[in-house]
Amino acid sequence: MSEIPETASGVVWQSSPPGSIYDYIRVASFSIGPDGLVDQWSKRAVELFGVTAEEARGKDPVEAFMPADLRERGHHRVREILDGKEWTGLVPFRMPGEDRAHGIAELYVMPSETQAGERAALCIVVDVRALRRIETDLAASQAIFGQSPFGFLLFGTDLTVKRANRRFATVFGGSADDHRGRTVHDYLTRPEADRMTVALKKVLETGESVADLQIVGAAPGSSDRRHWSVNLYRVHSGSGRPIGVAGLGIDVTRRHNAAREAASARRNLALLNQAGARIGNSLDLEATARELLDVAVPGFCDLAAVDLYQGLLTGDEAPPGRWGSSHDVGYGAGSAELRRVAVASAVADTPVRVGKPRVAGDDAKTGADAKTGDDAKAGDGGPARTGPAVGATEHSEHSEHTGHSRHTGPTADLCCDTGPVQVGSVHRYPFNSPCAGALRTGRLRTVPGPDGSLVQSTLVVPMVAHDTVVGLVQFSRVKGSEPFGERDRALAGELAARAAVCIDNARLYRREHERALILQRSLLPPGDPEAAGLDIACRYLPGTVGSEVGGDWFDVIELPGHRTALVIGDVMGRGLRAAVAMGELRTAVRTLAQLDLEPAEVLSHLDEIARGLGAPAGAQQSARAHKARGPELSEVYLATCVYAVYDPVTRRCTFANAGHLPPVLLEPGEEALLLDVPPGMPLGVGGEPFEEVEVELPEGALLALYTDGLVESRDHPLDEGLSAFRSALANPGRPLEDVCDHVLTTLDTRHGEDDIALLMARIQGLPSEAVGDWRLPREPRSVGRARELARAQLTAWELEPLVDTVELLVSELVTNALRYGEGEIRLRLLRDRTLVCEVWDAGLVQPRRRRAKDTDEGGRGLQLVGLLSAAWGSRRTPRGKTVWFELPLPDGDGLAEPTVDQLLSMF
């Protein structure tokens, strides 16, 4: 027995199958006795005629329910029925108390007998209106079901097909009746059939419709993937009982392909937009290659690798490779050395045999190009990726957390067949390989994956920028991913081209950057400057971070007598032009320093030189020429400078200032203070003399020279910067390098707004035991006395190997002082990193080296001094002059003994 439905008349037993005709029509019955009157009256008759059993029993049915004009015929039919005849016909009927016909009933009358054997009749009545509705609904249903252009199925409660329309049979074969009793597993693959079954059960159980259920499958005998949109809804009987599920299937393959094409176009645009935003953020070649793979994997492909020409990475000035339209021109015929700089993979961490090019130096031969080239078949033009690669992890998660096995995972070279290439390896592609061909021609190639590999196909794309091939990128998809199509080829070329331009820009930047560094390093003291009696540390930060050149400079220049010139300057302006001007001024300072002039004189000469810089050819270096040049050129070469000369013997330092910030001095146990050095006019202005200030510096004091970029910015006035700088110099007992770092990290320098130069020196005067100082009377025996004093001092210093040379040279210099000089003679020996000997006198005539004639008995003393010493010279002093020579210490690089030819050259 089936379920028991509820009806308006109560509970009835239901044994017929769902969808019985009796669920849609109401059959009423009544009986007529031998007297022709109503004997029994059913409940359905009550519903149909609206008359209760009490009202109907005992009445003549003809008189009660038939119109007056039909009663005669009605009585005739009743008599015939009671005589034993059956009758079926349409009978108009009226409700009691009404004159006009109410409806038409289909009446079926069957003769019967009472218990006493008398003749009676059983009448079955059906309302014709219900039948007409059923006919109309059936015709409409048949029209919709049979003539629908969409596949239509009716599933029973057991989820088998009860009915299918012709359209469905056209797609899946056979006639509509052939599909009765089948299930969805007869049409779909198991995963899709299971999905469909779950949806059918849900609709049948809950009554909730399912709209646009996407199902993928194939028609019998066809391998084409079809996409259907299925709508499901529950079907009920006339009594409201569920009798099955109706399914309407629409073939949306074309719509799906169009949507896929649109999604692919959107994806390509998004990838290009992402490439524009992410590729080229770094002016580093390797970083740019990695940025390309960050965009491509996994959004575009499953595996990727980038090779750049080795010459490109090593700074070779020659372009790595060029190609033209008329003939193929390649760097090294397309087989030059390349370096694998980046690899990305979205597949699982399983070694993938993707091939490797020939390693540099390997002469192994390979076969001809394997069915590759530009005519290789691609996909169907649909570049969208419908699913992750076989064995791949989830793209976004793998990208963020594992970096696609970035740079350390399985490497890929997808057009050869010998093994993987590691990141950083230098290799060559065989001449006949697709990769070498792509490099030679500058054209993209599609290469099928090697046999037995997970790789389905590879796009080999040369990276071309400004008609220059800079490298090669390979994009691969593994089996199970969407094949590469024509749009993919175009997108791969665009990605490679964008990366190539960025890489070429990075190459040009690196070349210019290296040149700028070479220029800057040539303009600054090499390494850590050293000076007698000074511990020195320095820092330089150019304001132009991109080129790392600027107009600030500092210098440490060794002067005779173990003295040191400390220089710091600032050319107005930034960048390369300021650096060039700075280089010219620095060279001029070094040249002037070798003349051993006073600091004020050095700045005066430097001011004249600065005013002449940039003058047109033939213009005189004068104030008139300076004014004629106009303000633009003169402003470029305006500069400030501090020039200081430190004597480690006296620990006195002489300063001269040309418009620069004052030096800062920090004495032990005291606060840092600004030295009161009169600020003259900047270099290049001219017309004003410079003043000198001499300051005695205590042992252990800290002297700081700096440029305004350290203490001044747009947000901080100069006074605040100077105060912060003085505070940052506290605790001077730390190592000088640490003090420099502390200053730069403490001050808000706003690096990038201006150049920064910092030169710091800790005072360490020569100890008294390293100085020998004597005064000699102006008499001939002073020559012998000078030799004795020098010998004794060198013996005390344990420099006996230098005794003979020093005695000879001291004798020559004292003799010249007696012969050509004036006043008292002073002999001084200084021992530090070298040995310096100085002879002072009050004469103003500078010694001049000359070549003596063969007949001259003298005139060869200075030649001998120049031959036996490492360096010699003379300088003016406030009270005369000083002649000096310098010798290396024995434990240093010894001075070579003069050859016979050198000695004979003096004669």
Judged against a pLDDT cut of 90, whether residue 522 lies above it is answered with no
Q: Which pLDDT band holds residue 544 (cuts at 50, 70, 90)? A: low
Task: Among 345-354, 572-581, 642-651, name the one with the lowest average pLDDT.
Answer: 345-354
Q: Which pLDDT band holds residue 762 (cuts at 50, 70, 90)? A: very high
Q: Which residue's structure tokens are 């965009």?
A: 295
Q: Which long-range contacts (CB under 8 A, 24 or more apart) does 594-601 make?
A: 596/559, 596/560, 596/873, 596/875, 596/876, 598/645, 598/654, 598/656, 598/692, 599/643, 599/644, 599/645, 599/654, 599/655, 599/656, 599/690, 599/692, 600/656, 600/689, 600/690, 600/691, 600/692
648 close to 563: Cβ distance less than 8 angstroms: yes
The model's pTM is 0.53
Helix (H) or strand (E) holding 269: helix 253-278
Q: Which pLDDT band holds residue 843 (cuts at 50, 70, 90)? A: confident
354 close to 476: Cβ distance less than 8 angstroms: yes
Judged against a pLDDT cut of 90, whether residue 694 lies above it is answered with yes
The encoded tokens of residue 134 equal: 């059923």
Q: Which pLDDT band holds residue 842 (cuts at 50, 70, 90)? A: confident
Pick 102 or 226 by higher pLDDT.
Answer: 226
**Predicted pLDDT of residue 1:** 39
| Secondary structure (H, E, C), 604-657 | HHHHHHHHHCCCCCCCCCCHHHHHHCCHHHHHHCCEEEEEEEEECCCCEEEEEE
pLDDT tens digits, 30-55: 998 888 898 899 888 887 787 888 88
User: What's the rounded Cα separation, in Å, for the pair 738 and 744?
Assistant: 10
Q: Which residue's structure tokens are 């300057």?
A: 569
Phi and psi, residue 880, nearest 5°: 150, -130
**Predicted pLDDT of residue 323:** 43
**Predicted pLDDT of residue 690:** 92
User: What's the rounded Cα separation, in Å, for the pair 435 and 443?
Assistant: 10
Q: Which pLDDT band holds residue 367 (cuts at 50, 70, 90)? A: very low
How far is the CA of 294 from the CAs of 281, 303, 304, 345, 406, in angstroms? 12, 11, 10, 10, 9
Judged against a pLDDT cut of 60, whether residue 731 lies above it is answered with yes
Task: Among 110-119, 219-228, 497-506, 738-747, name the one with the lowest average pLDDT.
Answer: 219-228
Task: Among 123-132, 138-147, 469-478, 795-804, name the one with the lowest average pLDDT.
Answer: 138-147
Pick 774 or 632 by higher pLDDT.
Answer: 774
User: What's the rounded Cα separation, in Å, for the pair 344 and 296?
Assistant: 9
pLDDT tens digits, 108-139: 888 888 888 888 989 988 877 777 777 776 66
The encoded tokens of residue 763 equal: 């005072």
Judged against a pLDDT cut of 50, whether residue 412 lies above it is answered with no
pLDDT (average), residues 772-790: 91
Walk across the sheet containing 455-465 and list its strands: 358-359, 426-428, 338-345, 303-309, 468-478, 455-465, 445-448
How far does Cα 334 stand from its chain's mean position?
A: 29
Distinct helix (H) and strand (E) counts, the chain: 23, 34
How far does Cα 640 stand from its chain's mean position?
A: 42
pLDDT tens digits, 593-602: 888 888 999 9
**Predicted pLDDT of residue 9:** 45
163 close to 145: Cβ distance less than 8 angstroms: yes
Q: Which residue's structure tokens are 């020195």?
A: 536
Task: Among 147-161, 200-214, 347-361, 674-688, name the one with the lowest average pLDDT.
Answer: 347-361
| Secondary structure (H, E, C), 804-863 | HHHHHHHHHHHHHHHHHCCCCEEEEEEECCEEEEEEEECCCCCCCCCCCCCCCCCCCHHH
692 close to 600: Cβ distance less than 8 angstroms: yes
pLDDT (average), residues 311-317: 76
The encoded tokens of residue 588 equal: 């001029």
Residues counted in the chain = 907
Q: Which pLDDT band holds residue 566 (cuts at 50, 70, 90)? A: very high
Pick 636 or 69 by higher pLDDT.
Answer: 69
